[in-house]
């Protein structure tokens, strides 16, 4: 195997830095793990668990202090998985679509929140932050390995692939509140969020049912990962509430 | 006035770094602003607006490149307000209480979210991240100057001051979902969140009505600022929904 390079977008592999993300890569997508890197001084229960998993799955484990130092920046990082990048098909009913998102931390946090709330398909519309950047994988706490992640060159490509579902662009200019919008929704939806600074272009108002998170005039807007979390919570709750009511009605028949 | 020091918790003043936080300090709490610092090369509309505000409020503006460099870390920072710290009384009905929170970014983001969702009182129970740290003020985007912020030495001190309201500790071990809990709530409440790594101590289960944010087994937990946002959204929505229904019923009488 050729020697490992500092991460760049054009590489066909990336790094999952940190014990937890390394473990998640090994548990959820072992077929994409090329090898596991550990620091020479790394020790402890976690590292032993990694070692056992690598042995079980016949994945090479090696010491690579220089690569780990480059990866970690300020924080310590005693292990990393080297993973093959994938552009996975979006197979679920519930999508989150991030249009021109630019912050690594937001992208990783949104991945983790989506997984926690039961949304397993996430599309990123380019130009955007690189969803395979090691900072994103780290911020996702390894959620990146449990989700279907797919990049699209533009929004039309997403529409062509998945546009047959109700679309909900999140826009501060919408007159329909998140509550109203989510109450009407079924279990098949795409929640669409725009860039941190500029939001979605006005043209998105003509797509599907735009919704607005009610907020006071005291803030300019909510942080993107916060807005996405509130949106995902409201939609997943509304769908489950409906399913429950339907169940209750059937019980009563 | 004595020369400015690098920020430390024991100082009776702090810094609001960045144009937007500086502006918020001047607009919302001008009486706490001791002076405004600008970089020698700072120029543009924003800086001119600061200059006009300072003139209007008779607040000294001075160049202080060294202090600004110390404040800004990696990011550029062309202005900062020097602000007197305050421990403000909590006067509102809706409280967010953060118990032993440790991350500056989370604390600032929670401030911004609270303000956006209409919760204006925030208590921090020590030991905890310093709510006056310049990183927190920056992450809050200046929301710190619109909220009532108060530190308590321990949770008992909070209870003594504000314990006469229904308490909702957020705990993964609770059997009551956020939805159920928030539906029963009135407009007077305290939402209590624990430390990023360890959550709330088990003893909090005996306080008020513990609630749980429903989440899949795929994640360990949600990020704290995400959990707090979802909690605040659910409670503020439930209260407003109730108020609306009451209004509708009254209309019908």
Q: What pLDDT score does B244 carry?
A: 87
Q: How many residues does chain A have?
A: 253
A15: nearest Cα among A148, A140, A138: A138
> What are residue A178's phi and psi, to 5 degrees?
-55, -40
C-alpha to C-alpha distance for A243 and B201, rounded to whole angstroms: 34
Instruction: Say yes or no for a CB contact (<8 Å) between A218 and B141.
Output: no
Average pLDDT over residues B129-140: 97
Closest Cβ–Cβ partner in A117, A218, A221 for B215? A117
Report residue A96 as tokens: 């989150």
Whether residues B112 and A241 touch (CB distance < 8 A) is answered with: no
The confidence score (pLDDT) of residue B236 equals 97
Task: Report the pLDDT value the prediction gives residue A2, as an integer from 0 to 100.
Answer: 63
Q: Is the pLDDT of residue B2 over 70?
A: no
Name the token pair of A93. 């009913």
C-alpha pair distances (Å), A86 with each of A142, A151, A201: 15, 10, 29
Q: Could you read off the pLDDT of A143-164 as tens digits, one per residue? A: 999 999 999 999 999 999 999 9
Spatial CA neighbour of A222 closest among A194, A253, A247, A190: A194
Nearest to A146 among B112, B218, B223 (CB): B218
Q: Single out the residue of A56, A140, A156, A180 nearest to residue A99, CA to CA.
A: A156
Residue A99: both structure tokens together: 């249009």
Task: Report how far apart, in Å, the C-alpha atoms of B226 and of each of A116, A228, B108, B205, B230 are.
Answer: 11, 9, 12, 21, 6
Q: What is the DSSP string of A15-58?
A: EEESHHHHHHHHHH-GGGEEEEEE-TT--SHHHHHHHHHHHHTT
Average pLDDT value for residue range B86-108: 97
| B211 beta partners | B170
Query: Would you give the distance in Å from CA B199 to the centre of its chain?
Result: 18
Residue B99 in tokens: 């118990």
Cis preceding-peptide flag for B113 (omega within 30 of 0)? no
Q: Which residues of B touch A110 (CB under 8 A)?
A: none
Structure tokens at A47: 């590292």
Substitution target from B172, B218, B221, B239 for chain A, most A beta carbons within 10 A: B218
The pTM score is: 0.95
- Cα gap A139→A108, rounded to integer Å: 5
What's B154's DSSP letter? S
Tokens for B184, please give them: 């029963």
The full set of domains in chain A, from first to last, is: 13-84 (3.30.1330.30), 94-247 (3.40.1280.10)
Query: What values do phi and psi take at A111, rounded to 5?
Result: -60, -50
Percent of chain B at pLDDT > 90 equals 87
Residue B202 CB coordination number (10 Å): 9
Q: What is the mean pLDDT of residues B101-118?
A: 98
Q: How far is CA A207 from the centre of its chain?
A: 23
Helix (H, G, I), strand (E, B) or coil at B179: helix
Contacts of residue B89, Cβ cutoff 8 Å, sequence gap at least 6: B148, B150
Q: Pick from A121, A207, A222: which is nearest to A169 by CA?
A: A207
Q: Which residues of B32-51 are buried (b: 16+ CB within 10 A; e: fewer)?
A: bbebbbbbeebeeeebeebe
Among A74, A112, A218, pick the best mutation site for testing chain B contact (most B Cβ within 10 A). Answer: A218
The DSSP code for A133 is -
Chain B residues whose CB is inside 8 A of the A221 CB are 116
Give pLDDT < 70 ranges for chain A.
1-2, 74-75, 251-253
Mean pLDDT, chain B, whole residue set? 94
| All residues at 6 or more sequence positions from A161 whose CB lies less than 8 Å from its CB, including other chains | A90, A152
Give the pLDDT confidence of B146-199 residue by residue, as tens digits.
Answer: 999 999 999 999 999 999 999 999 999 999 999 999 999 999 999 999 999 999
The alpha-carbon gap from A73 to the nearest alpha carbon of chain B, in Å, equals 13
Minimum distance, in Å, between the CA of residue B218 and any CA atom of chain A? 6
Those residues of chain B whose CB sits closer than 8 Å to some CB in chain A are 109, 112-113, 115-118, 141, 143, 146, 179, 213-216, 218-223, 225-226, 229-230, 233-234, 237, 241
How far apart (Å, rounded) are the C-alpha atoms in residues B237 and B217?
Answer: 26
Which residues lie closer than 8 Å to A85 by C-beta, 6 or more apart?
A11, A12, A13, A14, A132
The Cα–Cα gap between B96 and B120 comes to 9
Residue B73 has pLDDT above 80, yes or no: no
Rounded Cα–Cα distance for residues A44 and B116 (Å) = 43
Which spans in chain B are helix H? 19-28, 45-56, 65-72, 104-117, 134-139, 155-162, 178-184, 224-252
Q: Select from B45, B39, B29, B171 the least CA-distant residue to B86.
A: B29
Cα–Cα distance measured from residue B121 to residue A144, given in angstroms and rounded to the nearest whole number: 35
Instruction: Count Cβ atoms below 10 Å from residue A104 Cβ, excluding itself.
Output: 19
B100 φ, ψ (degrees, to nearest 5): 60, 35
The pLDDT of B35-43, averaged and rounded, is 93
Residue bearing tokens 């029963």: B184
CA nearest A214 in B: which residue? B117
Structure tokens, A7: 């991460």
pLDDT tens, position by position, B44-66: 999 999 999 999 999 999 999 99
**Beta-carbon-side half-sphere exposure of residue A142 (alpha carbons within 13 Å):** 22
Residue reference for tokens 């955007």: A128
**Model pLDDT, residue B74:** 64
Rg value, chain A, Cα: 20
Residue of A nearest to B237 (CA): A179
Whose structure tokens read 């607040």?
B59
The per-residue pLDDT for A253 is: 44
User: A112 and B222: CB-CB below 8 Å?
Assistant: yes
> Which residue in B116, B222, B237 is closest to A222 by CB distance?
B116
Of A116, A153, A159, A111, nearest in space to A135 by CA? A111
DSSP state, residue A125: E
Render pLDDT for A117-147 as a digit per residue (tens, 0 to 9): 999 999 999 999 999 999 999 999 999 999 9
ipTM, interface predicted TM-score of the complex: 0.95
**B238, two tokens:** 């439930």
């Amino acid at each position: 195997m050729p020697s490992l390079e500092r991460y760049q977008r054009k590489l066909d592999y990336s790094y999952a830095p940190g014990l937890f993300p390394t473990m998640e890569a090994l548990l959820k997508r072992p077929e994409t793990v090329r090898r596991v890197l550990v620091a020479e001084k790394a020790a402890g229960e976690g590292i032993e668990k990694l070692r056992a998993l690598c042995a079980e799955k016949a994945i090479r484990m090696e010491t690579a202090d220089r690569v780990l130092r480059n990866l970690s920046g300020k924080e310590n990082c005693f292990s990393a998985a080297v993973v093959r990048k994938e552009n996975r098909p979006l197979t679920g009913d519930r999508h989150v679509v991030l249009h021109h998102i630019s912050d690594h931390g937001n992208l990783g946090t949104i991945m983790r929140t989506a997984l926690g709330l039961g949304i397993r398909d996430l599309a990123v519309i380019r130009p955007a932050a690189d969803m395979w950047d090691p900072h994103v994988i780290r911020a996702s706490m390894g959620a990146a390995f449990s989700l279907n992640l797919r990049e699209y060159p533009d929004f039309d490509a997403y529409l062509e692939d998945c546009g047959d579902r109700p679309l909900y662009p999140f826009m501060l200019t919408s007159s329909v509140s998140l509550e109203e919008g989510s109450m009407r929704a079924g279990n098949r939806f795409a929640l669409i969020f725009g860039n941190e600074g500029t939001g979605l272009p006005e043209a998105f108002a003509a797509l599907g049912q735009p919704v607005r998170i009610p907020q006071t005039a005291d803030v300019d807007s909510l942080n993107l990962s916060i807005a996405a979390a509130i949106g995902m919570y409201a939609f997943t709750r509304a769908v489950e509430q409906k399913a429950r009511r339907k169940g209750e009605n059937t019980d009563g028949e």
